[in-house]
Amino acid sequence: MSGAVLVSPFVDLALSPPAWKLRLGGLADRLLPSMTMDNEIRTEMLLRTSDEREARERDPLVHQRISARLWGEMRRQAGVLSRRAEQSRTPVLVQLAGDDRVVSTPAARELATRLGGKARVVVYEDAYHDVYHDPVSRAAGADLVQWLGEMLESAGGAGAAAAL
C-alpha cells in the first residue's frame, strides 16, 4: 500500500513578498545559499485562534527566517511536482485551507486535479494555513483517519482499518 497526504502544500504563494526579495532570494540561492531573510509569514496568517497564536509566539523554536537554498529548493520541487503530476499513480489526500494566506489554495487544487493517481481534495472553507491547529482540526483529523482506513481496506487490511 502506498499513499500520500498533502496538507496546505506549497505549489505557489498566496502572499506577495516584495519583488526585490524574490530576485535576491533567487540570486542568493546560487551564490550564497545560507543567506537568510524574513519569510514574510506572520502568526496571524497561519492561525485563527488566539490560544494557538499565543502558543506559537511563545515557542522558542519558531522563527521567521528562510534560507535562500530552502526557498530555491521549494520552488524547484514545486516545479517538479507540477511537471510530473500526471505521472503519479499514488493515491493522495489533499487537505487545503480555504482561507490560506501563505500558499495558494487554487494552485494546489489545480495540481490535485492533474495527479494521475486517485486524489481526494478536501477544502476547509474558513481555515487558515495550519489546518491541524485550526478550529477545523477535528474534521481534518477525521478526514485523515477515514482516508487511511479506506487505503488500508483497499490494500486488503480490513482488520487494520477497523483498528483506526
Q: Where are the domains of the chain?
A: 4-163
Half-sphere exposure of 162 (CA within 13 A, CB side): 4
Task: Give the pLDDT band (50/70/90) at residue 155.
Answer: confident
Q: What is the pLDDT of residue 26?
A: 94
* Distance in angstroms (rounded) separating the CA atoms of residues 52 and 132: 11
Distances (CA, A) of 148 to 5, 46, 70, 115: 10, 26, 30, 18
Check pLDDT > 80 for residue 21: yes
Domain at 4-163, CATH from 3.40.190.10, 3.40.50.1820, 3.40.50.920, 3.90.79.10 = 3.40.50.1820
Q: What is the pLDDT of residue 157?
A: 61
Q: What is the pLDDT of residue 139?
A: 98
Task: Give the pLDDT band (50/70/90) at residue 160.
Answer: low
Distances (CA, A) of 66 to 53, 95, 104: 20, 24, 18
Give the mean model confidence (pLDDT) for residues 139-149: 97
Give the pLDDT confidence of 72-92 residue by residue, as tens digits: 999 999 999 999 999 999 999
Identity of the amino acid at 107: A
Check pLDDT > 90 for residue 25: yes
> Exposed, middle or buried, 30 (CB in 10 Å: 0-12/13-18/19+)?
exposed
Q: To which H or E segment does residue 149 belong?
A: helix 137-154
